[in-house]
Homo-oligomer: A and B are copies of this chain.
Amino acid sequence: MTKQDHNQQVNDWLSAFDSALGVCNVSEVAELFEEDSYWRDLVSFTWNLKTMEGRGAITEMLHARLSDTKPSNWVLQGDATHADGITEGWLTFETAVSRGKGHLRLKGDKAWTLLTTMVELKGYEEKKGASRESGVEHGAWQGRKNWLERRGEEDADLGYSTQPYCVIIGGGQGGIGLGARMRRLGVPTIIIEKNEHPGDSWRKRYKSLCLHDPVWYDHMPYIPFPDHWPIFSPKDKLGDWLEMYTKIMELNYWSSTTCSSATYDDKAGEWTVKVNRGGEEVVLNPKQLILATGMSAMPNVPEFHGAECFRGDQHHSSKHPGGDSFRGKKCVVIGSNNSAHDICADLWENGADVTMVQRSTTHIAKSDTLMELALGGLYSENAIKNGIDHHMADLVFASVPYKIMHSFHIPVYEQMAERDKDFYDRLKKAGFMLDFGEDGSGLFMKYLRRGSGYYIDVGASELIADGKIKLKSGIAIKEITENAVKFSDGSELPADVIIYATGYSSMNGWAAQLISQDVADKVGKCWGLGSDTAKDPGPWEGELRNMWKPTHQDALWFHGGNLHQSRHYSQFLSLQIKARMEGISTPVYGIGKVHHLS
């Protein structure tokens, strides 16, 4: 079959699809899908992030949403491609109120996967390109104000004489990127951040920290990194970028500000958010509240018997200042994920005596191998050479339904295990307990399921293999004494310093602290897919719990994830908020039940 034939195959399907949709013939639409098919919708049809799994679920969604959505104008963009019996194509389409992009995978004349994503709301498009602002009004009139004066007025008024439509708690990369999207959509927004400057949440972390994800994966919306930006951003350099970005995007960024409480008035449809801005108490009344405190905002420290009696320094990994002051000290790092490894290496580089306590198996992926095998096809120089920029890569990524994503990943990690066999053997020989995920699907599935359980190796694993970082593995901690960590087998490790690299709790813990335990419980656990694997209990959810989509608490939203997710999903969160601000009807389809509280 030729390229034209594949284009024809997609066009035929789209034409049938469009016709059936146009006359609201749901069963005819359903017939165009395989029995075992997936329709992932990001806002366009469902005002939700939702994957319909199977023909039945697709039918049900269309019965609820088709007449209202009024989809039309399905057009293949570029050429379809074909490999391994699957024909793929990029689409554009419209609904009554929006324009969208989509992606289709056909098996013969039936759809296997369909992705529909909202790009913009009609009549409320971002002002960019040809519709950008002039910057100056030509002509002359008395009393004209310039840009600086107008910015100054906005800064002085917003949160005082005028109220923001939206408040974002947390001004890390997530809050900043989302804030930029709000600015471009004209949604008056204030970002609340406890640190003094944008970027400080990175700057204040341990000295050796660099991003573990590569630059092609990490772009912020609208202003990509220049092409000399290092592959792995050093934390302070990233901090500078975020600070610049906040300024250039003209965000209303309240630094040195903490939030003490937030309550929602159902009747008024409005939040009361109490903040302390550099010593001044301010009450904000936004219509929408977004917690962008990140996946890593609620430190999780297990309660170890006797820990309160420990005489040395003990702190959570998030507070680790860097190894400079621990030269010659006996340091015990409890945990074996990314932070634990980074901190162990940092301590060793600074001449400390370091032991890692590994309590359960860990997935290790060598950075270079991960870049090449897992990310290289979408996020790399090579991808760019093949015409895949990060915008397209994000959509490709989004086009794979979570339900079957592991099956795409398992072969990649089999290849990884093979390629780096010597490395893994040496680690095992040193006593390190390895895994590749319960189903062998590796790092990213672990990240989606539980947000933990892995280390992207940038050097610490060799130190463990060599015994330079000592290892205590496969054993439970019994208690902590004045000067040691004691284990269940009776052994003990003398310690001057204990670092708890024990991860973070679900983001709804932040809602408990800020709003109420009731609201936190009503909303339930954030993140995870319900895969019924370790730390991701079932039932199956189909999408990440509570992230970037409506929750069971009106006007409360959660935003977070890595730089890639924050960049891409802030698009959908910002459009949901903008639609509400403009009074567009946004009936939410298929909001999930809460199965877990945290």
Q: Show the binding face of A for B, using Cβ within 8 Å.
A: 126-130, 132-136, 138-144, 146-148, 151, 184, 207-208, 210-211, 215, 222-223, 226-237, 240-241, 244, 247-248, 345, 348-351, 367-368, 381, 384, 457-460, 462-463, 468
Contact = CB atoms under 8 A, between A and B. Distances in A.
A132 B184 contact: no
Contacts of A140: 345, 348-349, 459-460, 462-463, 468
Contact of A132 (B147, B227, B462): B227
B229 A132 contact: yes
17 contacts: A127-B228, A128-B226, A129-B227, A134-B231, A135-B210, A136-B230, A136-B231, A136-B232, A136-B458, A138-B367, A138-B459, A139-B462, A140-B349, A140-B468, A142-B350, A222-B226, A223-B223
Given A210-B135, A348-B142, A458-B136, A223 B226 contact: yes
Contacts of A233: 135
A234 B463 contact: no
A36 B12 CA distance: 58
A412 B223 CA distance: 35
B368 A138 contact: yes
A142 B351 contact: yes
B142 A207 contact: no
Given A127-B228, A244-B244, A247-B244, A349 B144 contact: yes
Given A132-B229, A140-B345, 5 more contacts: A130-B381, A132-B227, A136-B234, A142-B349, A240-B247
Given A140-B349, A349-B141, A462-B140, A135 B230 contact: yes
A131 to B, nearest CB: 9
Nearest to A233: B135
Given A132-B231, A226-B222, A228-B128, A236 B138 contact: no
Specify how many copies of this chain sit in the oligomer. 2
Contact of A146 (B127, B236, B368): B236
A139 B459 contact: yes
A167 B582 CA distance: 54
Contact of A234 (B143, B146, B230): B146
A129 B224 CA distance: 13
Nearest to A206: B146
A147 B228 contact: no
A230 B349 CA distance: 48
A236 B132 contact: no
A567 to B, nearest CB: 14
A132 B228 contact: yes
9 A-B pairs closest in CB distance: A135-B230, A147-B234, A244-B244, A148-B236, A136-B210, A135-B232, A130-B381, A140-B459, A139-B459
A368 B462 CA distance: 64
Contacts of A235: 146
Given A208-B144, A349-B144, A458-B136, A241 B248 contact: yes
Contacts of A468: 140
Contacts of A184: 228
B230 A222 contact: no
A313 B22 CA distance: 73
Contacts of A241: 248
B381 A228 contact: no
Contact of A126 (B134, B228, B230): B228
A381 B132 CA distance: 10
Contacts of A236: 146-148, 151
A141 B222 CA distance: 37
Contact of A248 (B135, B151, B208, B244): B244
Nearest to A230: B135
A227 B127 CA distance: 9
A345 B137 CA distance: 13
A398 to B, nearest CB: 22
A148 B235 CA distance: 9
Contacts of A458: 136, 138-139
Contact of A240 (B132, B215, B248, B463): B248
| Residue picked from A127, A184, A241, A459, most chain B C-beta under 10 Å | A459
B228 A222 contact: yes
A228 B185 CA distance: 11
Contacts of A457: 138
A589 B457 CA distance: 54
A134 B459 CA distance: 14
A146 B208 contact: yes
A230 B367 contact: no
| Residue picked from A128, A130, A147, A348, most chain B C-beta under 10 Å | A147
Contacts of A211: 135
B381 A129 contact: yes
A233 to B, nearest CB: 6
Contacts of A463: 140
Nearest to A210: B136
A210 B210 CA distance: 39
Contacts of A130: 381
A135 B226 contact: no
A184 B460 CA distance: 31
Nearest to A135: B230
A235 to B, nearest CB: 8
B230 A132 contact: yes
Contacts of A133: 228, 230-231
